[in-house]
């Protein structure tokens, strides 16, 4: 999941959480470590520190 330029960070976070919740609901939860990795990776280079 990559954040689209027209999508706010809040919308991106909501979409990301919804996907994680859906995966958990079908018995395929994502570890917190992977959530952080994919969440930050999906923000793009505009959010690099």
How many domains, in total, are found in the chain?
A: 1
Range of the domain at 26: 9-43
Domain contains 2: no
Quote the pLDDT of residue 44. 77
Domain contains 4: no
Domain contains 14: yes
Domain contains 1: no
Q: What pLDDT, in 10s, does the model give residues 1-49?
A: 777 777 888 999 999 999 999 999 999 999 999 999 999 988 877 777 6
Domain contains 38: yes
Q: DSSP 3-state assignment of 6?
A: coil
Quote the pLDDT of residue 49. 62
**Quick one: which of 22, 20, 23, 11 has its CA closest to 38?**
20
Could you say which DSSP state residue 5 is in? T
DSSP one-letter string for 19-43: HHHHHHHTT-PPPHHHHHHHHHHHH
């Amino acid at each position: 999941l990559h954040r689209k330029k027209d999508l706010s960070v809040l919308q991106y976070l909501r979409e990301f959480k919804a996907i994680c919740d859906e995966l958990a609901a079908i018995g395929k939860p994502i570890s917190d470590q992977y959530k952080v990795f994919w969440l930050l990776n999906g923000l793009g280079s505009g959010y690099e520190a």
